[in-house]
Structure 1
């Protein structure tokens, strides 16, 4: 099986945008209204905008550093050379943890969504096995090639965007301005709950594992990859905002406490929206959308993990080499999905802390070290040292928030 960098026809930008957008816009978005219910709409919107800006630029910093190495080099090669073995170990553990935990989260989510979907057809299929079968299908697609993932993601994301607008077109008709603005609340408090949202926002803009994958896809073409990152992340931002309006405009703020108490899994939120809307057609569209949402994220996240592990273990791109990588990629999270099928919200939350290291702190350090060593002859992110400092501050702030919340030192909306 030839690597994609050796193919003659340069792939279109559309495929790359779909890989980035498909990775970001997924099951993680279902956690956003639940964890943002304390801060509510306007503060949550501000958190999303800041996170989008910082996560876009940290991804561009990974691209800047990665372009100085051979196509196929992932974080293990680049971080070890630029930052040394210590940082590479920390970064490697955080990458493996984030991508494994997200793969596990999507196995858990897919099991929950398929169980909920089949339940509507009066078929009782255990969530554990539904997640397992789904994971095997994704494993086969990822084993085939990056191009197979891109094509499948394009189909799934296209279907997801179509069902998204059909669903949220319906949701938007039902939006109550008084509910969205929480105007009936007496002396409401939003700002104290803002900080808790940031790690979830960060985890919901995670695509960084796909930057080396895009270099395998397009070769050393920084402008094309840059456009993929900009359009893919912007598409996610717009859909997240529509999703917040649709969910927070239909479900009163106080109702989210009960949703969070039930674990906040996708089927609980979909059930709550269905109960508010009381529409069979919208109920069906929500179920279809949630299936596509899980599928596209699952594909994107596992592609990033697959390419990272191939680089780490130096598995080649032959069918046998890809099979070894697929086994290492999928077996641990599949076992987790069978043993703990309901860990979606917890998994997304923990991913936020480790992702802070890998998707914010390390990219800023890589860009700084790359400029010192190579002068970044191929591509350089704008903003100089000020931009690097901003991304570092963003990363450290997220890490601090996560640690404080772990010790129950931040206010929780309940």
Structure 2
């Protein structure tokens, strides 16, 4: 895998690795390491396969900067309208949540060095500066994301090295809850934590010279990074805090404070990690919305910049104290957009005439000249993907 494809995998991983990672132990620890691991693997498999379906639709439809073009070519005008509506609702909700969270972090950071800003000023400053990076293009995001991700890995490694030596196997093996309905409800949090699919059309366009096999590996490798990060973090926290302690936490800051009581560096390190996680997620989601607007409105960068960030910023200023509520709405939308829409696109391209492939290397490669990329599993896998989407929807609404 070359540096460009590696950077694209890191964009996928960075988009998934948001601040929700810190909340995962709070929702899974009560069920013990075995059920927590099984639920995490189940969600990872379902979301990754749905992402591969979207990859197939992107390749067979001839690509495009955003899902707008792919939906138009595969689902027609009606499907394009529905897809765009879902995508805009999802991306705006996510960007609102990230602006709210990042604005609070920026305000606290600047306050620590003697510069006092209001929440509104912090949110506007963050949006303007990070939005300028997004408008600079995918290549700039790729290079910046590599650096940010490297720092995130260091922060996570420092945290794990602090927590692993003090882990207790007794804590890991204890499950304080056997309520499987409550376990099912956690799937909504986990699913949102793997919500990286929106960046795939942009990355297919960015890696036009890549073969289908390389694009598939890019998606799988990018999804494995958050999976292992989530599991390692879950085990480290569960091994250091008893189920009774975990049950008393009302928010992530209490969890960080409890870990910091025995490990001095944890609070500062996790604060840095949270900020970087929010930033990398913001860059990935904003890139998807920016490219979608380029694809839809065909305007210059200045106009597209305004179209991309004005609505999320206004929404964040209006809903400044509704971070979790906004993420909840995003989770419901994501089920339709990340599972059902890619499945419908894939069914359409498999039934219809072969559409132009998206990459030059794919056209030249002997391995793919006979047929375009197709996600493995056939009809059975599509049926399982549909049931996976129904499961997630039920978990969101139960």
Normalised-by-shorter TM-score class: 0.7 to 0.9
**Deviation of the 1:219 alpha carbon:** 0.8
- Which residue number in structure 2 is paired with residue 48 of structure 1? 40
Alignment of 1:210-229 (within 5 A): 210-219=199-208, 221=210, 222-229=212-219
Aligned partners of 2:337, 2:81: CA distance in 1, in Å? 11
Aligned partners of 2:241, 2:122: CA distance in 1, in Å? 29
Matched, 1:182 2:177: no
Q: Which piece of structure 1 moves more, 239-248 or 373-382?
A: 373-382
Deviations 1:223-276 (A, max 9, x none): 22211111110011000101111223333334445533xxx3x5454334324x
Alignment CA distance shift 1:302-1:40 (3 Å): farther
**Deviation of the 1:362 alpha carbon:** 1.1
Aligned partners of 1:220, 1:49: CA distance in 2, in Å? 32
Matched, 1:292 2:276: yes
**Deviation of the 1:34 alpha carbon:** 2.9
**Deviation of the 1:88 alpha carbon:** 2.7
The TM-score with structure 2 as length reference comes to 0.88
- Which residue number in structure 1 is paired with residue 234 of structure 2? 244
- Which residue number in structure 1 is paired with residue 186 of structure 2? 197
**Deviation of the 1:119 alpha carbon:** 6.1
Preserved CA contact (<8 Å) 2:66 2:288 = no
Alignment CA distance shift 1:78-1:342 (3 Å): same
**Deviation of the 1:121 alpha carbon:** 6.3
**Deviation of the 1:35 alpha carbon:** 3.2
- Which residue of 346, 364, 385 maps to 2:343? 364
Preserved CA contact (<8 Å) 1:361 1:396 = no
Please give the root-mean-square deviation of Cα atoms over the aligned residues, in Å: 2.3
- Which residue number in structure 2 is paired with residue 83 of structure 1? 75
- Which residue number in structure 2 is paired with residue 7 of structure 1? none
Aligned partners of 1:355, 1:25: CA distance in 2, in Å? 16
- Which residue number in structure 1 is paired with residue 163 of structure 2? 171
**Deviation of the 1:356 alpha carbon:** 0.6
Alignment CA distance shift 1:143-1:196 (3 Å): same
Preserved CA contact (<8 Å) 1:94 1:354 = yes
SS at match of 1:200: helix
Matched, 1:393 2:383: no
- Which residue of 281, 290, 293 maps to 1:309? 293
Aligned partners of 2:291, 2:51: CA distance in 1, in Å? 16
- Which residue number in structure 1 is paired with residue 361 of structure 2? none
Aligned partners of 2:164, 2:153: CA distance in 1, in Å? 15
Alignment CA distance shift 1:360-1:41 (3 Å): same
Aligned partners of 2:114, 2:240: CA distance in 1, in Å? 27
Matched, 1:337 2:323: no
Matched, 1:154 2:143: no
Aligned partners of 2:329, 2:178: CA distance in 1, in Å? 26
Preserved CA contact (<8 Å) 1:38 1:194 = no
The TM-score with structure 1 as length reference comes to 0.85
Aligned partners of 2:264, 2:119: CA distance in 1, in Å? 23
- Which residue of 45, 50, 56 maps to 1:58? 50
Aligned partners of 1:295, 1:375: CA distance in 2, in Å? 39
Preserved CA contact (<8 Å) 1:91 1:357 = no
Alignment CA distance shift 1:121-1:16 (3 Å): same
Q: Which piece of structure 1 moves more, 209-218 or 344-353?
A: 344-353
Alignment CA distance shift 1:304-1:73 (3 Å): closer
Q: Could you list the runs of 5+ residues in structure 1 that have no partner in the other structure? A: 1-9, 316-320, 405-414
Q: Could you list the runs of 5+ residues in structure 2 that have no partner in the other structure? A: 356-370
**Deviation of the 1:20 alpha carbon:** 0.9
Q: Which piece of structure 1 moves more, 70-79 or 287-296?
A: 70-79
